[in-house]
Chain A
Amino acid sequence: MSWLRENWRVAFLVVLLLASTVALFGPNVAGDEAAEASADRATNLQYGLELSGGTRLRAAVVGATAEGVDVTQDNEQAMERDVAEALSLESRDVQARIASNVVEVYSENSTDEVRGALDDLGYGYDTVRDGVTGETRETMRETIASKVGGAGFSGADVTTTETQTGERYIVVEVPGQNASQVRGLIAGRGEVELWAFYPENGNQTNATVLTREDLADISPPRVINERPSVPVVLTDQAAPRFAEDMRNYGFTTGNGISNCQYPEGGYCLLTVLDDEVVYDASMGSRLASSLEDGDDFTNDPRFFITANSMEEARELQVNLRAGALPAELDFQDSYFVSPSFAERYKPLSLVTGIAAAVAMALVVFLRYGDPRVAVPMVFTALSEVVILLGFAAVSGLALDLSHIAGFIAVIGTGVDDLVIIADEVMTKEIDSNRVFKSRFRKALWVIGAAAVTTIIAMSPLAVLSLGDLRGFAIVTILGVLIGVIITRPAYGDILRRLVTGQH
């Protein structure tokens, strides 16, 4: 027992090293399925985008928000309509919120323009700022997540972040996909509509006949009548209205059936994505007779939204399922690395780390000559990295290049402190345990002081939203803590046994 009391630090270090080795190479301790899927085969480490490949996009939400507007049940709709009209927008682009007394404008209008519109309309407000409300951002986040998931991109992560300077962003991370695929999916609002295109008083006219709100069910796309289509079912409210519209516009007359020459003329059903016509279809005779009857269609309100290709149909379906984004995104930065290129970073950064560690070991051997001092020194410095890696495996920290930089920095600071301990302890012949202990305490003061300054210096990076350098800072700080509390004192114990010859 007395051995353990004297050498508890060394014992603790050995236990930690064993635990880390198990965490790294043993059966998966994290256990959850996501970790299981993304974990590398050789170790239990998980890798972030930079080391596994994929896309990260950061975007701000386009819009302006007027705060302190008196929004009530009675004036809510009028206000939305008036503001939209004043700014020549559609009413869906303006959102008045009763609970928080704000009016959001989802457009690129400047705050001055919004102020002008509110002033002209006589609505009072406190301030008008850029950006949208937290509720809108949350809706955006959920919608984007469901779009990305619906498109079959697995392992995606959508989050909202705020920087210390007050800017708020939505961050989308998608493993394995390239930036333009992901961007294409969420660049527009993704609003799918069905327009009727028909002649009225000699002129061709557009009218919106179906929007997402009118759909009760959306099925996966399939080829129907040789056309890629998304089968949908209309709601009970929408079905009779749609049938009536079709009759009124003349789609069920002899002229309206199979007679589409878009954009020249005729009777067309247009599939529209974000106000752009993606496909024009003509009315089929079977649907026409069902609509003419009215009851027939209302009892079984099934319909197909048609597209040019299966890919387009799938995109329409994803957009219909997830719903339209309330506002557009303004992309701030994007990062993409192809999985094969990223995979390459793993061995390369491992080699870089090993090269740095070998260089460190060589200098230490050259300086001390005595392997009794140098071997434990190199061993201790490297054990800090092993413990950190074990910690990363257990906590499921997704490793990126910045973490690797942190590991190498930890080797650097670690060996500094070990040199201090070695020199302090070895300056004169050590004849007693008491002398050793007093020397060791003096060395620890310097090490502690240096550790505190390093932690203070790195902490802004751990807190500020400066890209992915947070990982570097966190690893460095953790490394310093593990070093000062466990490994560096343990080195002192090892050195004492070797130098004083006590057992």
Chain B
Amino acid sequence: MPSFEVPDVDLSQYSMRELFAPPMAVLAVALLVIGAWVAVTGAPVNYGIEFTGGTELVVESDASQSEVTAAFEQDHDSIRSIGTGGNQYLITFQSEDQQSLNQQATDAGFEVVQSSSTDPTFGSSTQSLAVLGVGIAFLGMSGVVFLLFRTFVPSIAVVLSAFSDIVVPVALMNVLGIDLSLGTVAALLMLIGYSVDSDILLNNHVLRRSGGFWESVHRAMRTGVTMTVTSIVTMAVMTVVSYYFGIELLTDIGLVLVFGLTTDLMNTYMMNVTLLRWYKFEGVAR
């Protein structure tokens, strides 16, 4: 039976700086992107219609994409063909006047099979709730991690890694033009829980087990990389399949998890390993 092995990477041949710099650079770039977004658009992310208000329609029609958009007097934000039949279009509008949009679609002979609209004031209250939710989840996770390890450096390593695991996907979403939706917020929260798995595993092997530092890291890596790669593959398949079927919520969640878990691979085995190495070899001796 064919099998893949987690590649043996000898991390000890690299200096601490060589291992620590790339994840920090990626984090810095991500923060820079988000900062630039705040400066230019006034918000750290592109909020979707659930947060800004607006309407999303799925219409069924044999007409072409340009004929579909021409049927509406309001400017559309985006349109794409979804589903397997090729005659369904998902269109989003800034306007929250769902009734008039529905009417225009019906008048043009399209069948509206799905529609959702959000009022801007309701959207902004959802937005503040979402920020609150992510904040509480992150603080809660940090609290649990500190309680579990009761030492500063290993705990802050986990928290820093989780922070980067959230920030990098958010920056990637901005660059790739993916709007923040309720689905992506759920995925970001999921990442907080998901990404600490491999970090906890690493800390546990290094701090609570007998054996040399590099041997422990090596064992944690074998397990951790398998875990994360399995999750990435599962989520990537879910993303692709659900995108093809036009199930937006699953695509959103899957994509953000793929970004975050990939970032986590780098953070755990470059940044966290280095922080633990410093703690084991220099921090404790001090």
Binding site for B on A (CB under 8 A): 58, 163-165, 167, 179-180, 183, 330-338, 340-342, 344-345, 348-349, 351-353, 355-360, 362-369, 371, 401-402, 404-405, 408-409, 411-413, 415-416, 419-420, 423-424, 427, 442, 445-446, 449-450, 452-461, 464-469, 472-473, 476
Contacts and interface: CB of A to CB of B under 8 A. Distances in A.
B223 A424 contact: yes
Interface in B103-140: 111-119, 121-122, 125-126, 128-130, 132-134, 136-138, 140
Contacts of B136: 460
What 5 pairs between A and B have smallest CB-CB spacing? A454-B193, A369-B3, A341-B113, A332-B122, A457-B193
Given A333-B122, A352-B238, A355-B237, A360 B230 contact: yes
B186 A402 contact: yes
Contacts of A58: 122
B227 A334 contact: no
Contacts of A368: 3
A345 B242 CA distance: 10
Given A163-B125, A458-B137, A334 B98 contact: yes
B233 A363 contact: yes
B214 interface: no
Nearest to A368: B3
B269 interface: no
A240 to B, nearest CB: 44
A413 B182 contact: no
Number of chain B interface residues as a range: 35 or more
Interface of B: 1-6, 50, 58, 60, 83, 98-99, 102, 111-119, 121-122, 125-126, 128-130, 132-134, 136-138, 140-141, 143-145, 148, 182-183, 185-186, 189-190, 192-194, 196-197, 200-201, 204, 208-209, 219, 222-223, 226-231, 233-238, 241-242, 245, 247, 249-250, 253, 257
Given A351-B245, A416-B197, A363 B190 contact: no
12 contacts: A165-B128, A341-B58, A341-B114, A363-B230, A401-B250, A402-B186, A405-B249, A409-B190, A416-B227, A453-B197, A461-B186, A464-B129
A402 B180 CA distance: 16
Contact of A334 (B116, B144, B235): B116
Nearest to B55: A334
Given A402-B249, A460-B132, A467-B50, A337 B241 contact: no
B247 A416 contact: no
Nearest to A404: B250
Nearest to A353: B238
A446 B98 contact: no
A371 B186 CA distance: 34
Contacts of B223: 419-420, 423-424
A356 B234 contact: yes
Given A163-B129, A360-B233, A458-B190, A450 B102 contact: no
A449 to B, nearest CB: 5
Given A402-B249, A420-B227, A424-B223, A165 B129 contact: yes
Given A357-B234, A423-B223, 14 more contacts: A340-B113, A341-B58, A341-B60, A348-B247, A363-B230, A367-B4, A413-B193, A413-B197, A442-B209, A449-B204, A450-B196, A453-B145, A464-B133, A473-B186
A384 to B, nearest CB: 14
B130 to A, nearest CB: 6
B125 A336 contact: no
Given A356-B234, A404-B250, A419-B226, A467 B182 contact: yes
Contacts of B133: 460-461, 464, 466
B154 to A, nearest CB: 12
Contacts, number: 240
B261 to A, nearest CB: 9
A455 B136 CA distance: 12
Contacts of B249: 401-402, 405
B3 A412 contact: no
Contacts of B113: 337-338, 340-341
Contacts of B140: 456-457, 459-460
A172 to B, nearest CB: 15
B114 A364 contact: no
A459 B135 CA distance: 12
Given A164-B132, A165-B129, A336-B115, A415 B231 contact: yes
A413 B198 CA distance: 11
A360 B115 contact: no
Nearest to A468: B182
A42 to B, nearest CB: 20
A402 B185 CA distance: 12
A412 B102 contact: no
A391 B271 CA distance: 41
B129 A333 contact: no
Contact of B125 (A167, A449, A458): A167
Given A404-B250, A453-B144, A459 B114 contact: no
B227 A465 contact: no
Q: Name which of A330, A401, A461 has the most chain B CB atoms within 10 A of its CB.
A: A461
Contacts of A342: 114
Contacts of A449: 144, 148, 200, 204
B125 A446 contact: no
Contact of B114 (A336, A352, A427): A336
Contacts of A180: 99, 102
A458 B242 CA distance: 23
B275 to A, nearest CB: 18
Given A337-B113, A360-B230, A458 B99 contact: no
A355 B236 CA distance: 10
B180 to A, nearest CB: 12
A404 B197 CA distance: 22
A465 B132 CA distance: 11
Given A333-B122, A355-B237, A359-B237, A466 B130 contact: yes
Contacts of A467: 50, 126, 182
Nearest to B58: A341
Contact of A349 (B4, B122, B247): B247
A405 B204 contact: no
A82 B126 CA distance: 38
Q: Name which of A366, A450, A457 has the most chain B CB atoms within 10 A of its CB.
A: A457
Contacts of A402: 186, 249
Nearest to B1: A369
A453 B141 contact: yes
A359 B4 contact: no
B137 A408 contact: no
Contacts of A165: 125, 128-129
A476 B190 contact: yes
A423 B6 CA distance: 12
Given A352-B245, A413-B194, A467-B182, A408 B234 contact: yes
